Amino acid sequence: MKSRLTLFSITLLVIVTTIACSNPKKEFASMLIYGGSIYTVDSTAATVEAVATKDNKILFAGTLEEAQTYKNEQTELIDLKGKTMTPGLIEGHGHFMGLGYNELNLDLMNTTSYKAIVDAVAERVKTARPGEWITGRGWHQSKWDSMPTETVHGFQTHHLLSEVSPDNPVYLRHASGHAGFANEKAMEIAGLMDLSLDGVKKYKVEGGEVLVDASGRPTGVFNERAQTLITQHIPERTPESDIKAFELAVEACHKNGITSFHDAGIPKETISLYKKMKSEGKMQTRIYAMLTGWDEDLLNNWYKKGIMIDEDHLFTIRSVKLNCDGALGSRGAWLLEPYSDRLDHFGHETLPMEFVKKTALNGLKHGFQVCSHAIGDRANREILDRYEMAFKALPDAALDHRYRIEHAQHLHPDDIPRFAELQVVPAMQAVHMSSDRPWAIFRLGIKRIKEGAYMWQTLLKSGVPIVNGSDVPVEPINPIASFYASVSRKTLKGIPDGGYEPEQKMTRQQALKSYTLDAAYGAFEEGIKGSITAGKLADFTIYDQDIMTVDEDKILSTEVVMTIFNGEVVFDATK
């Protein structure tokens, strides 16, 4: 009898176990998205019919029939109605607070003449308090329709600006951020207006230049590190304005389908702000932050603490940003040969290369990625040299360093294959080609342009990924513009036919990957985002038309209609 009971118990246990295993507890989706073109950037399935998410993670990506098995009465249904979805876009190089403050201050991005700048300032003077600083950013003399009569080295002088704002100091940053333009009142406050030529030399800043006229008086243009002569007198931002700028930057990201942002160089004050915003639940964009290399004490402090990888994937610090030269527009990019339109000038080394080498070694020792700004061919070569020295000195620590060069805009042909050889990631903002190429030829000449400028396809074929972006607020954050530039090699006005140096175009697949999976790789985050893959974060961008198939001349008319961040809709153009 006892043996029969034992046999019965065993049989019952097997039946129960079999039933339990064949009917595991079903996971149900928080959200089900379907009804349009869904590009995954996942090599195992380039497109899918539907995506199911649970909380902030992707639960399933595949057929609609199978996706519907994850649906219950609580599942939010999103019918794309023929629209297109991709992984959430990643801004691979920008300045988050600069984006926000561009919304608060004078935005000169679309000005097309010196007069337009003067008019904008004159309008702001009407509402400014006496003595209040007027600041802005975005002018670019090489993009103007016409130049003023009086110029020095191709830049305007301050006189018209000073006339419309005699009592309010004005400082307007160049679109690149590598130069600035001050009126007479600002220069008086800085103690510069009465300087002779010898006086200007006395105030010369290493790595910068004060432009002066024939009589030796400053013109109002301050290049590279010489900007500090003025900026040190501008009142500091307030906590209230910082919070407002942060909120405006988040809003701008959502409207443009940006769910992650590589913030290229932040000081300790911004780190504190971001921590506060996260603690208050306001960090609605994932920020991968680079520590500013201008503050060595800040770097040393973080070397001791070590990298900070946020388990919530909202605010991570594991990289350092070094500013090693200037920009082509201000003739600050550091070149091997002189500028074609200024034969006595090679640009500026804005950071000693010995410090780059020291930082490259410290990065390897302490686990920090190093990201160095370099636009000119000499700056790129010098940085690659310092990286290589560090890799050879600490080979074990350099196995997966993912060191980056930010912009890599103009390369000597001999240095192009070195990116793949050294496994250095180029972070290149395609929209710079669209904006700069029409006038960059005057800075570099046709030979240097064709052999080494904006070499996207050559770099990709060599085996390195490209991290794309906008460098906002240097350019508008709009990712559609950068995508269009990537695949067309044209200006945003659609010229020239066939594009500039068309052999360097990206394919649409490459361009999308540069804004998603490759950008995630550039931040060591390809395992958690960058593709629509089960287990990754539920960040998506939805467009009103298919950017992968629409005619090239219609790409720029594409609009972001919805942004999903962390499994929640944070922007909906229909509401």
- SS3 of 402-436: the string is CCEEEECCECCHHHHHHHHHHCCEEECCHHHHHHH
Q: Is 76 helix (H, G, I), strand (E, B) or coil?
A: strand
As separate numbers, helices (DSSP H) first and strands (DSSP E) second, the chain gives: 19, 23
Going from the first residue of the chain to its last (575 residues), give the mean pLDDT of each consecutive group of 10, the final group possibly shorter. 47 45 71 98 97 98 97 97 98 96 86 94 90 91 88 92 95 91 94 62 74 88 92 91 95 98 98 98 98 97 98 98 94 97 95 98 98 98 98 98 98 98 98 96 97 98 98 95 98 97 98 98 98 98 98 98 98 93
* Separation of alpha carbons 558 and 392, rounded Å: 46
Residues spanned by the domain of 555: 27-87+530-575
In the chain, the number of structural domains is 2
Q: Would you say residue 143 lies in a domain?
A: yes
Residue 45 and residue 154 share a domain: no
CB 532 within 8 A of CB 51: yes
Residue 154 and residue 113 share a domain: yes
Report pLDDT for 198: 53
| CATH number, position 72 | 2.30.40.10
| CATH number, position 219 | 3.10.310.70
Residue 199 and residue 117 share a domain: yes
Residue 130 and residue 48 share a domain: no
Question: What pLDDT, in 10s, does the model give residues 396-428?
Answer: 999 999 999 999 999 999 999 999 999 999 999
* Separation of alpha carbons 211 and 180, rounded Å: 11
CA distances from 133 to 106, 156, 176, 179 (A): 11, 20, 21, 18
Q: Would you say residue 266 lies in a domain?
A: no
Tokens 């600006």 belong to residue: 161
What are the backbone angles phi and psi of residue 25, rounded to the nearest 5°? -60, 125
Q: Would you say residue 245 lies in a domain?
A: no
CB 456 within 8 A of CB 431: no
Tell me which of 231, 251, 281 is where a domain ends: 231
Q: Would you say residue 506 lies in a domain?
A: no
pTM over 0.95: no
Residue 145 and residue 66 share a domain: no
* Separation of alpha carbons 424 and 149, rounded Å: 45
- State the DSSP H helix or E strand holding residue 305, giving kind and residue range, or none if neither: helix 296-305
CB 140 within 8 A of CB 106: no
Residue 204 and residue 144 share a domain: yes
Angle between helix 96-104 and helix 239-255 axes, rounded to 10 deg: 100
Report pLDDT for 216: 82
Residue 227 and residue 110 share a domain: yes
* Separation of alpha carbons 428 and 414, rounded Å: 19
Q: Would you say residue 405 lies in a domain?
A: no
Report pLDDT for 107: 87
**3-state DSSP helix/strand/coil % of the chain, to nearest 5:** 40, 25, 40
Contact residues for 199 (Cβ-Cβ < 8 A; gap 6+): 216
Q: Is 523 helix (H, G, I), strand (E, B) or coil?
A: coil
Q: Would you say residue 268 lies in a domain?
A: no
Report pLDDT for 2: 43
* Separation of alpha carbons 9 and 546, rounded Å: 60
DSSP label at residue 397: G
CB 33 within 8 A of CB 51: yes
Strands 369-374 and 151-152, sheet pairing: unpaired
Contact residues for 273 (Cβ-Cβ < 8 A; gap 6+): 97, 242, 243, 246
Report pLDDT for 501: 98
Q: Would you say residue 556 lies in a domain?
A: yes
Q: Is 161 helix (H, G, I), strand (E, B) or coil?
A: helix
Q: Would you say residue 280 lies in a domain?
A: no
Tokens 């679309």 belong to residue: 110
Residue 200 and residue 109 share a domain: yes
CA angle 469, 471, 473 (to 5 degrees): 130
- State the DSSP H helix or E strand holding residue 252, giving kind and residue range, or none if neither: helix 239-255
CB 327 within 8 A of CB 176: yes
Residue 50 and residue 118 share a domain: no
| Sign of torsion over alpha carbons 205, 407, 265, 189 | positive
Residue 155 and residue 54 share a domain: no
Query: Closest by alpha carbon to 181, among 191, 189, 171?
Result: 171
- State the DSSP H helix or E strand holding residue 21, giving kind and residue range, or none if neither: helix 2-22
Burial class of 116 by CB neighbour count within 10 A (0 to 12, 13 to 18, 19+): middle
CB 360 within 8 A of CB 372: no
Tell me which of 231, 258, 291 is where a domain ends: 231
Report pLDDT for 574: 87
Tell me which of 196, 215, 231 is where a domain ends: 231
Report pLDDT for 192: 83
Residue 189 and residue 78 share a domain: no
Residue 109 and residue 71 share a domain: no
Question: What pLDDT, in 10s, does the model give residues 487-541?
Answer: 999 999 999 999 999 999 999 999 999 999 999 999 999 999 999 999 999 999 9
Report pLDDT for 22: 44
* Separation of alpha carbons 388 and 382, rounded Å: 10
Contact residues for 241 (Cβ-Cβ < 8 A; gap 6+): 101, 104
Report pLDDT for 206: 81
Query: CB atoms < 10 A from the CB of 107, how many?
Result: 16
| Residues counted in the chain | 575
Q: Which two tokens stand for residue 494?
A: 């659609």
Judge if the upstream peptide bond of residue 395 is cis by omega within 30 degrees of 0.
Answer: no
